[in-house]
Amino acid sequence: MIEEMKGKILELNDGIEYYVLDELDYNNKKYVFTSPYNQKNETIDEENFLVVEIKINKDKLIVNDINDSNEALNISNMFLAKMAANSNE
Amino acid sequence: MRNDTNEQIRNLLFKNPDSQEAKDFMAKVEEKIKDSSINQTTAEELFKNLPDNIKNEHKESIEEGLELLEETVQSIMIARGRSNNSSNPAPQPQQTPPQDPIAQIKNDNQLREIQKIEKLITYYNENQLSAEEIEQLKKEEQQKSQQLEKDKKLLNELKEAAAAMHNPINEQDWHPALTEEQKEDLIAEGITPGSPEYDIFLRNHGIDPKSYIGIDKEIENKKKEIEEQELEIEKQIKIINSLENLKKPIDPRRPNAARNITKTEDQIKREKEKLNQLKAKSQRSKVELITLENSKLIYDPRLTKEQKEDLIAEGITPNSPEYNTALMGYGITPIDKMKELESKVQQEEQELNKIQEKLKRTTSLEELKEIKEAYETIKNTVIKDVQKSIDEEEEFKNLSGSQLLEKVEDLINNNIQNHEKANNLNKWENSDKLMKELKEDIKEGIKLKKQKKPLNEGSNEKLWLKGLAGATGFIAGIGLNMAVGAVPLIGTGLALYSGARLLYNTGKLACSITTKLNNGQEPKWISNIKSKIPEKVKKGAEAIFNKPKNPYAKWFVNGMSLGYTMDRIFNIHEKVGNAFGGNKTTAEVKAPTKTTEAETTHSTEPTAKPTSEQPVTPTQNKTTTAQNPTPNPKSISTAQEPTPIINPEPVIDPTSSFTAGEAMDISGLEYGYVGPGQQAVHLLTDRGAGAVFDKMEVINGQEWVHFKQANGAGYAWFPKEEVEELLASVAKRGGR
């Protein structure tokens, strides 16, 4: 079970950090909607967004590209829809 | 021919035409060209050569495709200009020299002034100089300015000297009896040798004008004198020769002969002395002539009198090869160097301009930011204030039509002029046009009359989000290039655009999060998860959900940019926003129709509109099932069983309403709309199976219904009657 990611900062092994704007559990997979985070300035990049899958591999939490383009599109749309719905509230 | 064409397209669209991405993309294009049998010669002609029937049928989409393609090519051109990638110059169909990106933005007639400012800010931000570079440039500017100033001063001296040397008044033309003061007085009076006033002046000062004939006459006389002297010398030589002939052997028969010879020798001796005197005199005259001629030569006026005399004494004249060296020995730059110095000054000015231009960008960026900030502040403030006046002040409530418009316009103008930041707009080079755009934007944001809720309620962000919500259906429906391929001819064009932008963005930013390490063997892993987030960052994250600042925000999935999609969303937002609200007061808008439980004969379950917490579970959508005691012919099973018609009963009720959350199979509708009254788009129809009715709106008397996909994402808008006809048609077929 992967813990809740939304609102947290993921630091990757190469030192790059991403702020998790939103997360999604779908078909037993966890996806995150992220944006590069600048620790020095404490800012989130508002122009570049990335959607990736988070999964456990050999006891490590890894970020994974969504290889299936249909799946990638669906997940992307779901985040968009959530984004719209959240803001409509 | 086909290969040549592809090569042209590839070179046109891609920075690196030999990359694998470019080849893959071209393979897709080739496939689509084959499908649609298009025979075009260039990327643009791909659109222009479409058959007429296709052109007419998809006119709007084609025009849009052309614009998008043009924009893409321009983006790539700019990128090429920035990258200075001269190692792989791609042959262009049109040999257009690369333009300065700043000039290109400023001259782009397609852009509004505020868009130009925004683009310039982006450009400057991306190409901003570091503090060290600025410091270095400032030093260079100082050095070059000093050098330029020095060279300009020297050049001016040279020009003045050259002008003085071309002065027709020669020093030797003045009467030698005149003092320097007298000459200066004459020059001040504009009186020069040769003029009647000059002779009068001489006489008034006791000098006989005829006592000095002038240098030219003197030289002429001296030459005559020398000629005469030469003649005399020749004559003298003849005399001497004649005398020599008299010196013959003594005739013994003439007793006086010896005495005569002695006498002749004495005479020859005297004549020879005379000849020597003549020769010496002639020599002196020749020297005097040379001196006179030399005195006519123009020496550099910057030489002092002593320096000039020294040069003359050494026999160095302005015509001598040693002259320039001698001048430089005195620290005087020869006038011959003037042209060389002029070129040097010109070059230094250009270099200095380049440096100053670079430095100016730092200032320009701040100025542009001020202009943009002023624009946004004035816009928001004036909209708010004017709207308040319209809504609350009696004088506005009693006005209508042109009187109201005029009054509002006056109020807008006054509010803008009185705004403390209005002067900042004048910093923009085309401030009049910018001001005009600002007024247009303000008018767009003002509602002349209060409108009914809920569609016009809320801020622009809400309108934007409505657009976004509608757009998600569009995205899901036609997706990226894989989806546009569903309409082969149009798809090719859009694929060209979206593919090009996709490659451009990914090539530029390389944003795939999982870029493999260790030669691609190991993915990136999360080394730390931080849950203590600064408050500033949290607020930033919330802001992103309200409205992305940049409509061209780049959204990456699997390293692929969905920037195109986001771009479209923004455009759609504007269209939908305009259709829904703004100052379009003529549109009759009402809330989505909700049917009551009693009215719905086809549902036994309460309607469950998908929420933000539940968008991802298809089964959460309300669906009709076989257990439904009164199955609605319009309601069919969703994802699991998309096509079978559950109710064989041909019950058709075109006037019935839809229930929010109700799932239907509308996969038979090939085209949908990105928003009510907006352009039609081709849909991925399998996503219409199990589509969930979301809401209905009425625009200009037309009922529009919006559907979401089974997974909760948006799908598309449709005219209500189209859906009803489809459902009725399906119901009939199912009944047979």
Work out the number of other CB atoms within 10 angstroms of the CB of residue B62: 19
Question: Residue B98: which of B83, B119, B118, B113 has the closest Cα?
Answer: B83
b/e burial code for range A29-61 (CB count within 10 A of at least 16 → b): ebbbbbbbbeeeeebbbbbbbbbbbbeeeeeeb
B103 near B31, Cβ under 8 Å?
no
pLDDT of residue B657: 65
CA distance B540 to B550: 14
Quick check: helix, strand or coil at residue A36? strand
Provide DSSP, B613-673.
TSSS-GGGSB---TT-SS--TT----TTS-S--S--S----TTPPP-TTBEEE-TT--EEE
Query: Which of B580, B612, B686 to substitute to test the interface with A, most A CBs within 10 Å?
Result: B612
- Nearest CB to B465; choose among A10, A77, A88: A88
Run means of pLDDT, 10 residues per run, chain B, 736 residues = 44 51 56 43 47 54 50 44 40 51 79 86 77 84 91 88 68 80 85 84 88 80 92 93 76 66 82 92 89 77 85 83 88 86 90 83 79 91 87 76 77 88 86 88 75 36 32 27 27 32 29 38 74 84 61 42 39 35 30 31 30 31 31 31 31 54 83 67 71 82 81 78 82 55
Bond prior to B454 in cis (omega within 30° of 0): yes
Contact assignment for A46 to B562 by CB distance below 8 Å: no
- Would you say the pTM of this structure is higher than 0.95? no
**CB-based contact B544 A52, cutoff 8 Å:** no
Single-letter code of the amino acid located at B514:
T
Q: How far apart are CA A18 and CA A36, in angstroms?
A: 4
Instruction: Identify whether the C-beta of residue B730 lies closer than 8 Å to the C-beta of residue B669.
Output: no
Q: What is the nearest CA distance from A1 to chain B, expressed in angstroms?
A: 15
CB contacts of A88 in chain B (<8 Å) are 462, 465-466, 469
> What span, in angstroms and rounded, lies between the C-alpha atoms of B118 and B106?
11
pLDDT at A5: 87
Predicted local confidence at residue B30, as pLDDT: 54
Nearest chain B Cα to A68, which residue?
B558
Of A42, A52, A82, the CB nearest to B536: A42
- Cα(B180)–Cα(B210) distance, rounded to whole angstroms? 20
Contact partners, residue B407, CB within 8 Å, separation at least 6: B395, B396, B399
- Please answer yes or no on whether A26 and B476 come within 8 Å at the CB atom: no
Residues in B touching A62 (Cβ below 8 Å): 523-526
Q: How far is B566 from chain A (nearest CA, A)?
A: 10
Neighbours of B729 (CB within 10 A): 12
Mutate to test the interface with B, among A49, A52, A62, A69 (most CBs of B within 10 A): A49
Half-sphere exposure of B353 (CA within 13 A, CB side): 6
Q: No. of H helices and E strands in chain B?
A: 25, 9
Tell me if B419 sits within 8 A of B381, measured CB to CB.
Answer: yes
Closest CA to B232 of B290, B264, B276: B276
Q: What is the pLDDT of residue B111?
A: 82
Q: Which two tokens stand for residue B327?
A: 């001048």
CB contact under 8 A, B527 and A11: yes
Closest CA to B572 of B650, B714, B701, B469: B469
Q: Do A14 and B517 count as a contact with CB atoms less than 8 A apart?
A: yes
Cβ-based burial of B32 (10 A; exposed 0-12, middle 13-18, buried ≥19): buried
Helix (H) or strand (E) holding A21: strand A17-26
Per DSSP, what are the bridge partners of residue B708? B692, B714
Distance from CA of B467 to the nearest CA of A (A): 9
Contact list, B542 vs chain A (CB under 8 Å) = none
Contact yes or no for A61 and B482 at CB 8 A:
no
Pairwise CB contact (< 8 Å): A80 & B713: yes
> Helix, strand or coil for residue B288?
helix
Question: Could you say which residues of chain A have pLDDT below 50?
Answer: 88-89
Cα distance between residue B351 and residue B79, in whole Å? 25
